[in-house]
Amino acid sequence: MHAKNTFATQSLALLLVGNAVVLVTALQLAAPYLSLGIGAVVTLLIWYGLQRIAGPLLQAPAEAAPAPLPEAETPPQVEAPPRPVVPEQPPEAAALQLLALLQREGRLLDFLQEDIRPFDDAQIGAAVRPVHAGCQAALATHLPLAPIRTEAEGSTVTLQEGFDAHAVRLSGHVSGTPPFTGTLQHRGWRVTEVNLPALMQRQDRVVAPAEVSVG
Amino acid sequence: MADYIVGIDLGTTHCVLAYTEANPEGDPTPPRLLDLPQVVSAGQVQSRPLLPSFLLLPGPHDVPPGSLALPWNGELDYAVGTFARERGAELPARLVGSAKSWLSHAGVDRTAPILPWDAPDDARRASPVEAAQRYLEHLRDAWNHHMAVQGQPTRLEDQTIFLTVPASFDPVARELTVQAARAAGLQYLTLLEEPQAAFYAWIAAHPDTWRDAIEVGESILVCDVGGGTTDFSLIEVVEEGGALDLRRVAVGRHILLGGDNMDLTLAYALRAKLAQQGTNLDTWQFRGLAHQCRAAKERLLNTPDLDAEPISILSRGSSLIGGTIRTELTRAEVEQVLVGGFFPQTEFHEHPQRKARVGVREMGLPYEADPAITRHLAQFLSAQGDGVAFPSVVLFNGGVMKAEILRREILQALRRWSGHPDLRELPPADLDQAVALGGATYGTARQGQGIRIKAGTARTYYIGV
């Protein structure tokens, strides 16, 4: 764009100078009609010359490699929009949010709230599939889990002095001091990350809105 | 001076932003993706690597007040991304999708507020350009927010940006893309064609082995089948002054045919199967079916010894179990619909059926009448003149091509047509993110400090521009 504009300005200047020269020469000849005619011819000649020189410049080059686009002349001024005012959340916000999330992605509340006694196992099983898939995906996204013990369940494990009694729970006849040897009954679960969406509004107790389809 | 080089994939179904340092102190770091905070449900924001390219223009009763707020803007009256897509599926007259396809649709005024197409008269509307602008603004604001939080207040407006467009975009569509980017405040822009970006992403993913995989003079088919569109192009590897260069030698038309069509076709097939058994689905259930079809299809395609995947369609009401409809998607059905319908083994001279023109009022998107991607490919290849070599290598791109069985069908057709049984594919990278990553990679390569491609001998190649 820039090269094109500069070129246009230069061309205009050249045309004016050319015409002025012709006009002065014509006045000296004192033949006004002739001067107009010569003026026109010279203008055309200059224009033709300019076109020949400028042809390649004015035509869009057929380029395969992308060239950076010229910068915009006036960058639009963006006013900073107002930041959201995030209200303080009630202490139970995360619990309610998680319920809403498992309902939204896996229909868990519908499933748990339903009386399943009248249905046969096959029917329940069919309904469980999407509930399971949805809730599993929701957990994997928002609260990914990892087992606490990586050994196979049923294998023998030894707990050394200073083991984390919060993460490993002993049962049976426990006496004396560690090390303790026993059978791993359950590997345990630990949440490895908490990725709950950020709440931009106060979490209320609506965990699944009523749905009305219109029209 | 820009601090970063940014690649932006403004895709038909989702947008991705990748970036890397412009002036690294040591070796250049491989490009990484920007996490994109977006509304994921009313009043809740979460970061995702992909931003679904959907714009929701809700009416006064469609979303709770203030529920579209983002960390950087509390007063938004529209939504972009996951929530726009999910909520928009329930409010079709409020949802703008496929804006990119509209951007390349010459049959309409692309700067006029025409979307959502077929929305009622009182609905809010946006132009295809405005929709693209909203996506780019979202990326910009996500960037600026992220950098400010990191204590590094560098703005996207000041970065060197490589924005990718389909090679098949006409000059008007390109210009409109630039217009949208300018309106979003992005200035230091270079448009890069998607197949080239995909190729750079492949190079970046195989820094040590890529030189062994291709040779100078080879013709590479980039076969890009995304969510909504299919694009073919041919790229030639050339050597100029010791530097390797890519020359795009042929571009096909922008084909409005993609993975979404495939998933829908599968869902329609299952709906017909259910209807035969006397079960009819409403719109809401059909959407659930389509959603599950996609997941079941992916499991079937990725697990070769699986014969069928059960599908349960839940009723919409709170009574879940009694209203559940059961069916299954079998491997045979997937192969029949996908392979038979979209990737059939056709002959080289078989081309798509010409679409009958339906008067002047046919203004919606010009979707393809013929779903067979192989026939579109045959048409593209046979339209090339004698000077263009038949491809000997294929680089796949787009989410659909993640399925190995579908890549195999394309390769088999190409081998049959060319008579070259050794026609091969380049090992794919991450096909959802390749274009954005490739954009950033291309940017570093252009600076001469990007991918240093060492030859087998002592020579060193740079990717030329």
Interface of B with A in 176-215 (CB under 8 A): 178, 182-183, 185, 187-193
Are the beta carbons of B16 and B38 closer than 8 angstroms?
Answer: no
pTM for the complete prediction?
0.83
What's residue A10's pLDDT? 59
pLDDT at residue A126 greater than cutoff 70: yes
Query: For residue A151, how far is the Cα from the chain centroid?
Result: 39
Q: What is the mean pLDDT of residues B214-224?
A: 90
Asked if B314 has any chain A CB less than 8 Å from its own CB, the reply is yes
Q: Do A97 and B320 touch (CB under 8 A)?
A: no
What's residue A67's pLDDT? 64
ipTM of the complex: 0.83
What's residue A200's pLDDT? 94
Sorted by sequence, the CB contacts under 8 Å of residue B369 that are 6+ apart come out as B352, B353, B355, B356
Per-residue pLDDT tens for A174-203? 888 999 999 999 999 999 999 999 999 999
pLDDT at residue A69 greater than cutoff 90: no
Q: Do A97 and B44 touch (CB under 8 A)?
A: yes
pLDDT at residue B361 greater than cutoff 50: no
Per-residue pLDDT tens for A134-155? 999 999 999 999 999 999 999 9
Query: For residue A28, how far is the Cα from the chain centroid?
Result: 74
Per-residue pLDDT tens for B272-306? 999 999 999 988 889 889 888 988 998 898 888 89
Quickly list H helices, B121-170.
128-149
What's residue B236's pLDDT? 86
Query: For residue B156, how far is the Cα from the chain centroid?
Result: 22
- Strand duo A189-191 + A145-147: pairing: antiparallel
Average pLDDT over chain A reads: 79
Confidence of residue B249 (pLDDT cuts 50, 70, 90): confident
Q: What is the C-alpha separation between A105 and A137, in angstroms, rounded?
A: 8
Nearest to B187 among A72, A83, A199 (CB): A72
Asked if B312 has any chain A CB less than 8 Å from its own CB, the reply is yes
Bridge partners, residue B161, by sequence: B6, B189
Strand order in the sheet with B95-96: B79-80, B55-56, B95-96
Min Cα–Cα distance to chain A from B355, Å? 31
Q: What is the C-alpha separation between B398 and B382, in angstroms, rounded?
A: 23
Q: What is the C-alpha separation between B334 and B262, in angstroms, rounded?
A: 10
Q: Which residues of A have a CB under 8 Å from any CB of B?
A: 64-69, 71-72, 75-76, 78, 81-85, 97, 100-101, 104, 107, 110-111, 113-114, 116, 119, 123-124, 126-127, 129-131, 133, 195-201, 211, 213
pLDDT at residue A82 greater than cutoff 60: yes
Min Cα–Cα distance to chain A from B144, Å? 11
